[in-house]
Structure 1
Amino acid sequence: MIAQRKDDHVRLAADQQREHSGHNQFDEVSFVHHALAGIDRPDVSLATTFAGISWPVPLYINAMTGGSENTGLINRDLAIAARETGVPIASGSMSAYFKDPSCAGTFSVLREENPDGFVMANINATASADNAQRAVGLLRADALQIHVNTVQETVMPEGDRSFASWAGQIEKIAAAVEVPVIVKEVGFGLSRETVATLKNLGVRVADLGGRGGTDFARIENGRRQLADYAYLHGWGQSTAACLLDAQGCLLPVLASGGVRNPLDVARALALGAAGVGASGGFLRTLLDGGVSALIAQLATWLDQLAALQTMLGARTPADLTRCDVLLHGDLRSFCADRGIDTRPLARRSGSPAALHEMTGSTR
């Protein structure tokens, strides 16, 4: 049953990607164009550092799958693509491994094919501390993701219905494992209040996992006989909204959910993300074109992200937080309702000192 569910998730997620309208709230974020802000490409670095973690690039393949023969093959190809491009990668939920150790290879292939890369294990918030350590050990993981997904569980026919213990269990896991713990949503977003709580629980990083990409309420509803939870499709906050909401929370954040292209990566970095993850679009590329197509896509994204940094005058991904951005439409309304002052975002490069630090010159 678990293996079938994992295969269903892949099939339904890929179908969603092929049907996707393309619009999300990243389209409501735009850069102010400064015609003389550009720098030289050799001066640009894609390296990012956060919470004691160093990545060569700010892009990662986020959690997808594992637990069946078919998904093991997908993980193999994802790992090869990560190895060939230097992109960090996360496992899908490893709950299936805890219930059936015979499927361990569908997850450990991520490390076997990518022995020197940055690999993240992935568990749910009900896992024991012992199982968290097993997951890290199986993948020789560099970090541990704990996914939170109350909406998905609610719609999932066989999902959990008890959530009160999650915060306490996250705290126990964070104290028990020796690698950094990253708590991620699966597409419904983390609010500023949740991010602040995670910091107090000992979590090192929050992956905001907002609305805009794969909708797991829709996926699980597609597995229900009556499909009677359609009213929860589109639940939650967008990734762009979560990034704005989380500013000032003093916890490093990653951005995933609805990332469609290198410009979305740059937008997320400009709104404060230390790294940006994608999954559904990469899965579609892999299924449609194979591992060579995914490697080419990842290489193109990294090349174009460096080009955008060059154009914007950002020597590093972190420097994008000094670029001026404008917010529009419903995203601006969200900020107004949440008491977020958006005006400073449009004026961040205004001082001669800031411009000199970013570009090495003044206007």
Structure 2
Amino acid sequence: MIADRKDDHVRLAAEQQRRSGAHNQFDDVSFVHHALAGIDRSDVSLATRFGGIAWPVPLFVNAMTGGSAKTGAVNRELAIAARETGVPIATGSMSAYFADPSVADTFAVMRRENPDGFVMANVNANASVENARRAVDLLQADALQIHVNAVQETVMPEGDRSFSGWAPRIGEIASGVDVPVIVKEVGFGLSRETVALLRDLGVRAADVAGRGGTDFARIENDRRLNDRSENGGPENGGRERADYSYLNGWGQSAAACLLDAAGVGVPMLASGGVRHPLDVARGLALGASAAGVSGRFLTTVLDGGAAALVARITAWLDQLAALMTALGARTPADLARCDVLVRGELRAFCADRGVDTRRLATRSRSSSTAPDTIGGIR
């Protein structure tokens, strides 16, 4: 049952990616072009640091899958690509391993194929501290992701229905494991209030994982409506299947979450709808320390294997460095001092949440340190 669900997730996520529209709220963010702001490419470093964690690049392969033979093969290809490009990588939820230890290798393959890389284990917010430690030990993980997914669980026919224990459990895990803990949504976003609570619970970073990428409410509803189990629907004497399609598109975008939670005091990561290197740069400009990608990288692996993903990641990193060169950003953190404009629905969200976006359009003036620098131009 669990293996079938994991295979369904991969299949439906890939189908969703291939038919998804081009627009999301990253498109509401644009850089102010300063024609003489550019620097030398040799002065650009992609290294990023946050919460005591150092990565060679501000891009990572985010949590996807594991728990079946097919998904184990996907994880192998992802791990090879991470090894060849140096990007950090996270496994998918390891709940299947806790239920059935025989599927351990579908997750452990990530460490075996990527022995020296930065690998993150992944558990849900219901995991015991003991199981969190088991996950870390299996992968010799450098960090632990805890995913929160109340909306997905609500739509999932076999999902959890008790969420009140999640926050205290996250605190227990954060203090009970020996690696940094990163809490992530699965595509519905983290509000300012949630990020502040995570800070108080002792997590090292928050991955906002916003709306605009893979929609797990849609995936679980597709699974629900396509269920052909014995008691799955009225044609088999069962109850009529509940349709949760009205929840498609639930939540806040990654861009909205980053702006909403700015200054809370915990490092943030940007994922959810990252489509290309410009979206990575946009996320970094809005305050993220790195950007995570799942859907785009999943379809790349399914279509062309590890070699195709190596080529794509290499191109993304090269193009990100090129963008930083033109923008005058020597480091990923410097992008957060570049002038950006916020428009459309994203600006309306910020207005309702009390976020002043006007300051972002001229912030290079106040952040510049060189005496001959005006408006970010030297």
TM-score relative to the length of structure 1: 0.98
Gaps in structure 1 of 5+ consecutive residues:
none
SS in 1 for 2:141: coil
Deviation at 1:288, TM superposition (A): 1.1
SS in 2 for 1:349: helix
Distance 1:362 1:236 in 2: 37
| Counterpart position of 2:209 | 209
- Asked if 1 retains the 8 angstrom alpha-carbon contact of 2:337 and 2:367, the reply is no
Distance 2:288 2:62 in 1: 14
- The change in CA–CA distance for 1:23 and 1:355 in structure 2 (over 3 A counts) is farther
> Matches of residues 44-123 of structure 1 in structure 2 within 5 Å?
44-123=44-123
Deviation at 1:279, TM superposition (A): 0.4
SS in 2 for 1:147: strand
Distance 2:371 2:208 in 1: 32
1:299-321 per-residue CA deviation (whole Å, 9 max, x = no partner) reads: 00000000000000000000000
| Counterpart position of 1:315 | 330
> Matches of residues 195-234 of structure 1 in structure 2 within 5 Å?
195-225=195-225, 226=241, 228-234=243-249
- Asked if 1 retains the 8 angstrom alpha-carbon contact of 2:185 and 2:207, the reply is yes
Name the amino acid aligned to 1:164.
S
1:96-127 per-residue CA deviation (whole Å, 9 max, x = no partner) reads: 00000000000000000000000000000000
| Counterpart position of 1:156 | 156
Deviation at 1:227, TM superposition (A): 6.1
- Asked if 2 retains the 8 angstrom alpha-carbon contact of 1:314 and 1:358, the reply is no
Percent identity, aligned pairs only? Answer: 73
Deviation at 1:358, TM superposition (A): 9.0
Deviation at 1:350, TM superposition (A): 1.7
SS in 2 for 1:115: coil
Q: Does 1:334 align with 2:349?
A: yes
Count of residue pairs the alignment pairs up: 362
Distance 1:203 1:53 in 2: 12
Distance 2:362 2:31 in 1: 11
Deviation at 1:22, TM superposition (A): 1.2
1:274-294 per-residue CA deviation (whole Å, 9 max, x = no partner) reads: 010000000011111221111
Distance 2:224 2:359 in 1: 46
SS in 1 for 2:365: coil
- Asked if 2 retains the 8 angstrom alpha-carbon contact of 1:349 and 1:355, the reply is no
- Asked if 2 retains the 8 angstrom alpha-carbon contact of 1:352 and 1:362, the reply is no
Deviation at 1:353, TM superposition (A): 3.5
| Counterpart position of 1:302 | 317
Distance 1:192 1:293 in 2: 37
Name the amino acid aligned to 1:158.
E
Of 334, 337, 349, which residue of structure 1 is paired with 2:364?
Answer: 349
| Counterpart position of 2:231 | none
- Asked if 2 retains the 8 angstrom alpha-carbon contact of 1:41 and 1:310, the reply is yes
| Counterpart position of 2:229 | none
Distance 1:102 1:199 in 2: 35
Deviation at 1:362, TM superposition (A): 5.4
Distance 1:184 1:336 in 2: 25
Deviation at 1:348, TM superposition (A): 1.1
Q: Does 1:20 align with 2:14?
A: no
| Counterpart position of 1:276 | 291
- The change in CA–CA distance for 1:290 and 1:185 in structure 2 (over 3 A counts) is same
Distance 2:5 2:188 in 1: 20
Q: Over aligned residues, Cα RMSD in angstroms? A: 1.4
TM-score relative to the length of structure 2: 0.94
Deviation at 1:354, TM superposition (A): 3.8
Gaps in structure 2 of 5+ consecutive residues:
226-240
1:31-57 per-residue CA deviation (whole Å, 9 max, x = no partner) reads: 000000000000000000000000000
| Counterpart position of 1:167 | 167
Q: Which portions of structure 1, spanning 4 or more consecutive aligned residues, are displaced by more than 3 angstroms?
A: 351-359
